[in-house]
Chains A and B, each alone.
Chain A
Amino acid sequence: MQPLMIPEVGHYALVIALLMAMVQAVMPLAGVATRRPLWMAYARPMAAGQLLFVLIAYVCLTASYLLDDFSVANVANNSNSLLPWYYKASAVWGNHEGSVLLWSLMLAGWGYFAARFSSELPRDVVARVIGVMGLVSVGFLLFILITSNPFERLLPNIPSDGADLNPLLQDVGLIIHPPMLYMGYVGFSVVFAFAIAALLGGRLDAAWARWARPWTNLAWAFLTVGIALGSWWAYYELGWGGWWFWDPVENASLLPWLSGTALIHSLAVTEKRGSFKSWTLLLAITTFSLSLLGTFLVRSGVLTSVHAFANDPSRGLFILVLLGITVGLSLLVFALRAPRVSHQVGFNWLSRDALLLINNIMLVIITVTVLMGTVYPLILDAMDLGKISVGPPYFNALFVPLTLIMCLFMGLGPVARWKQTDTRLLVRRLWVAAVGALVLGMLLPLIFAEHWNVRVAIGLIAALWIVLPMLRDLFDKTRHAASFGAGLKKLSLAYWGMQLGHLGVAVTIVGVAVVSNYSIERNVRMGPGDSAQVAGYTFTMMELVERRGPNFLADRAVIEVQRGDSQRRFTMTPEKRLYIARGMPMTQVALRPGLFRDLYVAMGEDLGEGNWAMRVQYKPFVRWLWLGALLMATGGVLAVADKRYRRMATARDPERVASDTNQREATA
């Protein structure tokens, strides 16, 4: 095979994948409707085949990038022969067409694994789940083939070199951020498919929740890491030192995360108590719809940012129609079938059920407020009512107080019991934690900084109020064991997952509170020999040098940093780069990371005569933001590893499952 044919092979593979996805969507669902096991059996092989062919297409595109085949428009517009190979490979998803292909690849991947690890599920459930995933695949593969073909050729005028990858995207964070985020977005399609399957089958029990939970947790964990990576990237790459801008694109990823968080909690209630069923289904539909909305916002070009590659209105329209069909159909199914699965279970107003209900309501309110702030300007614009923008103050004014109210209940939740909790018992267990959180929260800011700040105090109180009751619970749970260690061993992985997840939230809250209020930023004019003082550190510019990188030229400042009067010094080297192919300047920040503080130096602009405007920042506890997110994600993964899910996976007795199914069908 000639290497020049690679794009055609990829394109062809994509068409085959679409056909397989169509079979995967139609046959199993029709098989369930007409009770034909043979048709249902199409589900698994088609899911595998679809993955194989999308993978071939993806590999072909990557090969075109690595081989610098600039006859492919996509490669010519987004790559350059000077790029290092790893940026060539990641440039595949640094543009619209490639990123949608990655989306489809992951969708096919999730579909395959859902089919692969579902052998203990009744046949009809598998058929429905895989069928629904096939439907979603059909939508996205059609989207690629009709509006965003990545294999389009530039013939006969082949450019001699590519236009280069946007320098902002030439970064390690950007190699892993999009795949993680997409894994999260797309991962929610599995629980969505489970929800639709449950609605279609009219059957939703504890077993269903047990099947759906690991998938949801995994997707959520990926999304958490993806969002954290995006925030981290913005922090060091954009040169401003900001870590969250309430940019519509960031909100687009936060929205499914918020409703996904509500979903994993609601699923817990559905599994343990058999209640909240319709609510769980609605959240599953909402979460995936918000993932699609996020894709629409980012990919349609209605927003302008580094993420908005496409400005082709037909693409936006296609995703909008896809979104409309998905939301419309699934809500229709919900409206028609939800009454069948709902089930009343009573609980007291002070119980874990009720607290989780409050958690869900709060998360949904937060989701709605963020959604309003994000789409309100778009709707006004679409209706020609003026161009407005909703700034960070709006989001901060709503997000922060709502989160704090939620924290109040978060402290109680893990300690409370299902169905009913004795108020006196709860008070007796938690008053120490409450007093401790209040006192420590008020005092800690005093130790850390010169001036006491009420916002930091509130943030710390909230974080401590999450952590201290958890410690108390840990103590109570291990008290009766032979030894502390033995007690700890008895606790389930799911329990540890929950604890870790909540700890992550607390850690992130501490990070947000401290870095938002105790950061110090100074913009200074500096030439060689000048120095500036920030937060007890002395920054001295030693010299300015010029440097040549693989595909850029850079001005580099060598800055020596000294803390107080100590003799320990270190150097930091921020750069201002000019990427040659695009003529695009970019700031390369110098960072000195630490668990309790980051030092951050960025070169602003050349003021002439060897002077530069420099941005020097002191960022306390900024790492805690992302550390917290990592803890949350770890918690989510840990919960998936819990014994009860593994037991399920090993119980692969086909005969039993088959008889189970027959029995159910007989009773249905």
Chain B
Amino acid sequence: MTPKRKQKLFVILGLVSLAAIAVGLTLYALRANINLFFSPVQIAAGDAPFERSIRAGGVVKEGSVARNPDSLDVEFTVTDYVDDLEVHFSGILPDLFREGQGVVVVGELQQDGWLKADEVLARHDENYMPPEVAQALEEAGYSPADYQAKAAEVGKRLESEQRPDDALQRDN
């Protein structure tokens, strides 16, 4: 082999082995770190795996948020207006977390049906219901528009109840 060819061979071998390592690592990491999304309907149907990190979402049910007065533990129910999911969380909830608002929680589903959340994400959405949840409802054979309308109605009512006194109280 001429030195030039030898050099080319080295470069190509190096490239191939590096690429192989990269692809292997990528596939491994992707397999271990994908969080699938489930809505309460799917969880109630038993589609979700237990004790593996998943994402679940829905609307925070009216009147379901219960805080432990001595610690930062909090329990609430996430609903898609068909099925409910009980969520336990310890820590600080995001600013936009409110009853009647859409949330996505990341955590592990326990054998007795509640979800131990590590992370709670809230975002103000005009539909009040995360789009993934609407899609899950549709797949389960429900008409998502009805439930979305319901969610929006509850959400708007709770908001209008909350906002004026909130602002008034602070004004005084």
A-side residues, CB < 8 A to B, are: 239, 304, 346-349, 357-358, 361-362, 365, 368-369, 372-373, 376, 386-391, 393-394, 397-398, 401-402, 523-525, 546, 553, 555, 576, 578, 580, 583-587, 604-605, 607-608, 613, 615
| A523 and B72 within 8 A (CB) | yes
* Whole-angstrom CA separation of A106 from B170 in the bound complex: 44
CB-CB under 8 A from B171, the residues of chain A are 553
A608 to B32, CA, bound (A): 40
Contacts of A613 in B (CB 8 A): 72, 91-92
Complex Cα–Cα for A401 and B18 (A): 13
B residues lining the A interface (CB < 8 Å): 3-4, 7, 10-11, 14-15, 18-19, 22, 25-26, 28-30, 32-37, 53, 55, 67, 69-72, 91-93, 95-97, 106, 123-124, 132, 135, 159, 163, 166-167, 170-171
| Inter-chain contacts of A369 with B (CB < 8 A) | 22, 25-26
Assembly CA distance A365 to B21 (angstroms): 10
Known: A386-B36, A578-B166. A525 touches B92 (CB 8 A): no
CB of B166 within 8 A of CB of A393, answer no
Q: What residue of chain B has the Cβ atom nearest to residue A611's Cβ?
A: B69
When distances are taken between beta carbons in the complex, the residues of chain A under 8 Å from B123 are: 304
Instruction: Identify the interface centre among B53, B67, B167, B170: most chain A CB within 10 Å of its CB.
Output: B170
Q: SS class of chain A's interface: helix, strand, loop or mixed?
A: mixed
How far, in angstroms, from A376 to B33 measured CA to CA in the complex? Answer: 12
Assess whether B10 is in contact with A349, with CB atoms less than 8 Å apart.
Answer: yes
A607 and B67 contact, CB distance less than 8 A: yes
CB distance from B131 to the nearest CB of A (A): 8
Query: Smallest distance from the beta carbon of B152 to chain A beta carbons, Å?
Result: 16
Whether the Cβ atoms of A398 and B37 lie closer than 8 Å is no
Residues of A within 8 A of B93 (CB): 604-605
Name 6 extra pairs, CB < 8 A, besides A391-B53, A525-B70: A346-B7, A368-B22, A388-B37, A397-B25, A525-B72, A583-B159
Query: How many angstroms between the C-alpha atoms of A553 and B35 in the bound complex?
Result: 38
Tell me the smallest distance from the CB of B89 to a CB of chain A, in Å.
Answer: 11
From the candidates B22, B33, B95, name the one contacting A394 in the complex (CB within 8 A): B33
Looking at the complex, which one of B19, B30, B55, B135 makes contact with A365 (CB distance below 8 Å)?
B19
CB-based contact B30/A373 at 8 Å: yes
**Which of chain A's residues have a CB closer than 8 A to the CB of B37?**
386-389
Q: How far is the CB of A402 from chain B (nearest CB, A)?
A: 7
In the complex, the answer to whether B30 meets A376 with C-beta atoms within 8 Å is: yes
CA distance A226 to B125 in the complex (A): 28
Contact A578 B18 (CB under 8 A): no
From A387, A605, A615, give the contact of B36 (CB < 8 A): A387
A389 partner, pick from B7, B34, B71, beta carbons under 8 A? B34
CB distance from A353 to the nearest CB of B (A): 11
- Interface core residue of B25, B30, B93, B95 (most chain A CB under 10 Å): B95
CB distance from A140 to the nearest CB of B (A): 28
Tell me whether B170 and A578 are in contact (CB under 8 A): yes
